[in-house]
Amino acid sequence: MTTYTAPVEDMMFLYEKLRNDKNYNEIEKYKDVTPDLVKNILEEAAKINQNLILPLAKAGDENPAILENGVVRTPPGYKEAYKKFIEDGWTSLSCDPKYGGQGMPRTVSAFFDEMISSASLAFKLYSELTLGAYNCIHHHATDEIKDKYLPRMVEGKWSGTMCLTEPVCGTDLGLLKTKAVEQPDGTFKITGQKIFITSGDHDLTENIIHLVIARASDSPKGTKGISLFLVPKFIVKDDGTIGGRNGISTGSIESKMGIKGSATCVLNFDDATGFMIGPKNKGLSQMFTMMNLERIVVGIQGLGISEIAYQNSLSYAKERKQGKSNKNKSQNGNADLIIEHADIRKSLLNMKSIIEGERALCFWLSQQTEVSLNHKDQKIKQEATDMVSLMTPVVKSLFSDLGMEITSDAMQIYGGYGYTKDQGIEQLYRDNRITPIYEGTNSVQAIDLVFRKLINKNGDIIGKYISMIKNDLNSKNDKLKPFEEKLKTYIEKLDLFSNWMKDKILNSKDDANAASNDYLRVLGYVAIGYSWLKVLEVSYKDYSNNKDFYEDKIQTANFYFNRVLPRVESHYLSATTGSKYIMDYKFN
């Protein structure tokens, strides 16, 4: 079984030293969120994740959620853990105090997301979709609906889902068949089938609030005719109490490769009563409020699983003896610890440099997200929104893809033991494998980045991002200059690649499509490098205050700049060969 220690020290380093965004610090409602308060929250979060939730990972994998006589039953221990989880207020951490939330910023809640992803992703998913549904309702529903549903969702007594996918459509939601027929009282009868619904049914909460996209009878075909509906598992009476069962049933639970403790359901809607959220035919844009948040959270899932994979690999490498290193520190000709071997050390440093760089990038993105939602200046809000829009597909895709690389390397470090179930490493690989797939596959994210995010109605977004980095590469610290010079080299490569992509978007969409994944990775590696540069600025400035911590940061960054960042060159050279030889190939 895996072990886990929440990286509170590294999280607090980011919160105390990199929370230096002027626009973020101008948000009035977070002025009282002090480092002492955050440290207390993270230390309590560490306890519940390490002691209560971590054991659920193995339990859920060995005893998956089941459908029994029409009732979905979660794995052993889930109900007791969930009860404690909501009693301690973890579902309310980032929610609006108006509805019972604690009002913490994403700069704090993102750390908790990472911790619980490390501890048990399957368990996390029961509350994660609730927060996504909460955000969608909070942004788009009427006050009457908010007052009726949000307090119980914030409390965790009711959960939420996102119902998009159907047998006939995954990403292409314009093909959906689910129908919504308006009733005389203004409600709608929803009929159709949704598949792959995470936490679609379970026994943890009193009610489940489904957000369902469907097409009203008089709506046009395609995505322009999609509306969003709130469809509760149990009808909620006017006084807020639960009434009879709505027309929703669970057809089956998917038998999955990983996250087996999470119930991924086929849901049948048979004249289920639903309430329209927002204007008719605007459902897709409303649902994207939930989806865009979830995409960032999926990236954090990849980060969390990478962290626990790294921790266990490091621990194993310090205990396992095999072969002789060049330094040969063994006694009497015996084998050395595998951590003495250069290749193992390289793998561990690769994991560590990526994880810590991702965490720093995610923290920067959390600040931008809060500015985009809460700053008083509309121009500043829009600029932050553009940065969040640009980085959302990068964080979702790169973090989840690198999670596959890291969990695979972890299994390799363990050798044959990693391939067996006893150690828990192969489960991390299986659990993470869904992250590059759900909430829009990573190829879809890459295409979205290239065709919608580089340039949009607000101008040349990627150009603004590149200029922002270039303007920061002017440190007077001689120790930083070698890192800046390396980053300048790859910023220029990103700039060239961006211009190539802009041309291909207009003149050869096949070339742009074929290069999209490479482009996303180039942007991602540069963004992580930029985040590392910010960490290095603090590390050199405050070095004497905590030499061991900052020396570790400097050496880890050194590995990233020398061993990981150069991947940019390979992706650029490969992608810019074009697509003709791909599209002209004749498959038999």
- Rounded to whole angstroms, the Cα distance separating 396 from 492 reads 24
Does residue 414 contact residue 429 with C-beta atoms inside 8 Å?
A: no
Nearest residue to 396 via CA among 515, 516, 520, 287 = 520
Helix (H/G/I), strand (E/B), else coil: 212: strand
Residues whose CB falls within 8 Å of the CB of residue 394, separated by 6 or more in sequence, listed in order: 449, 520, 523, 524, 527
Give the number of C-alpha atoms closer than 13 A to the C-alpha of residue 452, restricted to the C-beta side.
10
Q: At what angle do helices 425-432 and 54-62 cross, to 10 degrees?
A: 80
Does residue 137 contact residue 150 with C-beta atoms inside 8 Å?
A: yes
- What secondary structure letter does DSSP report for 50? I
Residues whose CB falls within 8 Å of the CB of residue 115, separated by 6 or more in sequence, listed in order: 6, 42, 45, 46, 49, 304
Number of H helices, E strands in the chain: 20, 13
User: Following DSSP, what letter does each residue of 543-565 receive, concatenated?
Assistant: GGGSHHHHHHHHHHHHHIIIIIT
Tokens representing residue 81 in the block:
């853990």
Tokens representing residue 26 in the block:
């101008």
- Rounded to whole angstroms, the Cα distance separating 306 from 329 reads 30
Residue type for position 352: K
**Entry field: residues in the chain:** 588
Tokens representing residue 163 in the block:
């119902």
Does residue 436 contact residue 397 with C-beta atoms inside 8 Å?
A: yes
Could you give the C-alpha distances from 402 to 145, 301, 357, 552, in angstroms and in order? 40, 11, 12, 22
- Rounded to whole angstroms, the Cα distance separating 583 from 92 reads 50
Does residue 229 contact residue 194 with C-beta atoms inside 8 Å?
A: no
Q: Which stretches of 473-577 are DSSP H helices?
A: 481-507, 509-541, 547-559, 567-575
Question: Which residues are known to be catalytic?
Answer: 439
Which residue pairs from 179-186 have beta carbons closer than 8 angstroms and sit at least 24 positions apart in sequence? 179/214, 179/215, 179/216, 179/217, 180/214, 180/215, 180/216, 180/217, 180/227, 180/229, 180/274, 180/276, 181/216, 181/217, 182/216, 182/217
- What secondary structure letter does DSSP report for 88? T
Tokens representing residue 418 in the block:
């990693």
- What secondary structure letter does DSSP report for 97? G
Residue 140, classified by CB atoms within 10 Å of its CB into exposed (0-12), middle (13-18) or buried (19+), is buried
Query: Checking DSSP bridges between strand 242-245 and strand 71-73, what pairing results, if any?
Result: unpaired
Does residue 333 contact residue 431 with C-beta atoms inside 8 Å?
A: no
Helix (H/G/I), strand (E/B), else coil: 292: helix
Does residue 345 contact residue 559 with C-beta atoms inside 8 Å?
A: no
